[in-house]
Amino acid sequence: MRLLILSFHSCDGWCRYLARNVQAEDALVVSDVRGDGDVCITDDFYKNYRSENSCELTESFFSIDEIADIIERCRTLRNLDRALATRMIGAMAKTYNELLSAWQPTLILAITIDRYTFDIMARLAGRREVSIIEMTTSIIPEHILFMRRGKMIQLRQPEADEFAKYIPILCQRNWAPSYVDQETKFNAFHYWKTFLYHRLRSYVFDVYRHLRRDPLNIHYLEALPKRSHRVRLSDANVLTLFRKDWEQCISTTPIQDRVFLALQVFPESSIDYWIAARELLDHDNVIMSIVKTLCESGFTVFVKDHPNQFGFRKRELIDRLAAEENVVLVPYHVPGGLLLEACPYTVTLTSTVGFQAAMMGKCAVVVDPYYAEAEAHFIKFKSIKDIDELPKRMRAFVSPIDLLSRQKEIIGPCLAASAPGDIYSYLKFKEDSMEHQHRVAPLIATLNLYLPNC
């Protein structure tokens, strides 16, 4: 196995440590951060970017539709001038293509695709029939998940005792994925602290990218304040739009008319790179289409934002939701578990709230998240047109008689694609720290056990 590991900002030491400890014929760490990795592609990228035929170069690798798809899925490229984004795609494609030709890996390992650079590598690798494995945190506690563009890679057959162990954990009222910050204080002080930190960070990165002679690095560009998903001073108004009387609203709404609509972090890889239909990437308009359709059908929609989105949610969407007569905006501090219990219907795009609802025997409406492989237990919509049919399909939902069997069928594929490991072991990783080595050890054991078969 010739393993190529795609590094990213601030994880070079971690990636190098994995490369040295994974059992492979050879392992190479590739980075787009100047000075990082066994191979840094930065200089080659700019050489190709500055070539006279850079625009024609892009079309030599991708069709017009593929170029549009790459741009629309990347949170940074879709904010740039299209000609600039197109040149960047061509330069990166040539750089990676030359690397693949020279090194000829048999397997590529990466964190979940969430940027155009990884997206391009995956497309080029696919043409060469080279497997690319994405790692992310799993719903299963203390496990990582293996996938490709949101589709799980089945690694193993789950053991019976795993079902007995994890079903009770995942059905707890206060359960939340490991990446959810449950310590956040949802007050004005924390909002402005978050806002000022990231605004200052954006100014620093704007200077830093030039000092590093790397002005087009995706990590620096994404942080700039002019990106459409970055909040502005006026967005703080969202704090005034949430309803203090939400409990009364729920109690006076008939149970059969209550819908919990869970917003999620956006932009986010689970939307940009997991959802197949590009028309569903238009997050805010998709949410509004769902809300309007449900309200017109007699539902009252209780909207709860993702806790990790506090301080990052744009005002426009919240304003539009607040203007709808049958929409109740629930404050950030309210646990999602309360709404799951109070509402028989749950709607989200790819958030794990859909998984929780299905495990509770509720009606779970989702787009196509990885955990919904047991399709019989979810209502899926895969296009804008499908949204019109949601009220009818939701009203026809019948609660399962055998809830345990349903839970096993839902969690089974997730267990089969998961194995012990902590994806966040890269944070501030120091190789000379015994604590950090201990934390990353389960991940290394998992990679050595399963990568050869991938």
Asked if the structure places residue 169 within a domain, the reply is no
Both 408 and 421 in a single domain? no
Q: Is 256 found in the same domain as 119?
A: no
pLDDT at residue 271 in the model: 93
The pLDDT assigned to 230 comes to 85
102-111, 189-198, 220-229, 365-374, range with the lowest pLDDT: 220-229
Which residue matches tokens 């109070």?
342
Whole-number pLDDT of residue 10: 87
- Those residues with Cβ within 8 angstroms of residue 217's Cβ, 6 or more apart along the chain or in another chain: 32, 33, 42, 209
Paired strand residues for 253: none
- Exposure string of 386-403, with b = 16+ CB inside 10 Å and e = fewer, is ebeebbeebeeeeebeee
Do 316 and 350 reside in the same domain of the chain?
A: yes
The model's pTM is 0.93
Binning the chain into helix, strand and coil, the percentages to the nearest 5 are 50, 15, 35
357 lies in the same domain as 345: yes
Q: Is 54 within the bounds of a domain?
A: yes
Q: How far apart are CA 308 and CA 312, in angstroms?
A: 8
Residue 54 has pLDDT above 80, yes or no: no
Q: Which residue has the higher pLDDT, 254 or 182?
A: 254
More confident residue, 179 or 25: 25
| The pLDDT value given to residue 256 | 96
Residue 230 lies in a domain: no
Average pLDDT, the chain: 93
Arithmetic mean of pLDDT, 225-236? 84
Q: Quick one: tokens of 52?
A: 């006279």
The verdict on 272 and 354 lying in the same domain is yes
Tokens of 112: 């979940």
Any domain includes 303: yes
DSSP character for 304?
E
Judgement on whether residues 313 and 399 belong to the same structural domain of the protein: yes
Residue 406 identity: R
- Cβ burial, residue 275 (10 Å; 0-12/13-18/19+): buried
Closest CA to 323 of 353, 354, 361, 292: 292
Residue 284 CA: distances (Å) to CA of 76, 271, 280, 287: 17, 12, 10, 5
**Per the domain annotation, does 219 fall within a domain?**
no
- DSSP string of 288-342, one letter each residue: HHHHHHHHHTT-EEEEE--GGGTTT--HHHHHHHHTSTTEEEE-TTS-HHHHHHH
Average pLDDT over residues 258-271: 94
Task: State pLDDT tens for residues 352-392.
Answer: 999 999 999 999 999 989 999 998 999 999 999 999 999 99
**Which amino acid type is present at position 375?**
E
Residue 167 forms part of a structural domain: no
Provide the pLDDT confidence category of residue 182 given band limits of 50, 70 and 90.
Answer: low
Distances (CA, A) of 416 to 382, 402, 449: 25, 22, 14
Q: Are residues 281 and 146 in the same domain?
A: no
pLDDT in tens, 122-133: 999 999 999 999
Count how many domains the chain has: 2
pLDDT tens digits along 141-159: 999 999 999 999 999 999 9
Q: Tell me: do 102 and 14 sit in the same domain.
A: yes
What is the arithmetic mean of pLDDT over 190-201? 92
Q: CA dihedral in degrees (47, 50, 56, 58; nearest 10)?
A: 60
**DSSP type of residue 176:** -
What is the rounded CA–CA span in Å between residue 33 and residue 310? 29
Residue 418 host element (H or E): strand 418-420
**Residue 178, domain member (yes or no):** no
Looking at 315-400, which runs of residues are DSSP E strands?
Answer: 327-330, 345-347, 363-366, 379-380
Tell me which residue has tokens 């798809």.
Answer: 69
pLDDT of residue 405: 95
Task: Write the CATH number for 339.
Answer: 3.40.50.2000
Torsion sign across C-alpha atoms 41, 46, 48, 49: positive
Helices (H), ranges, 52-187: 54-61, 64-73, 82-103, 116-127, 160-170
Could you tell me if residue 430 is inside a domain?
yes
Per the structure, the complete domain to which residue 348 belongs is given by 241-414
Indicate whether 422 and 398 sit together in one domain.
Answer: no
Query: In DSSP terms, which residues pair with 366 in a beta bridge?
Result: 380
Verify that 360 and 447 share a domain, yes or no. no
Residues 408, 434 within the same domain: no
Q: What is d(CA 183, CA 180) in angstroms, rounded to the nearest whole number?
A: 9
**Based on the domain organization, do 325 and 300 belong to the same domain?**
yes
Residues 264-279 have a mean pLDDT of 92
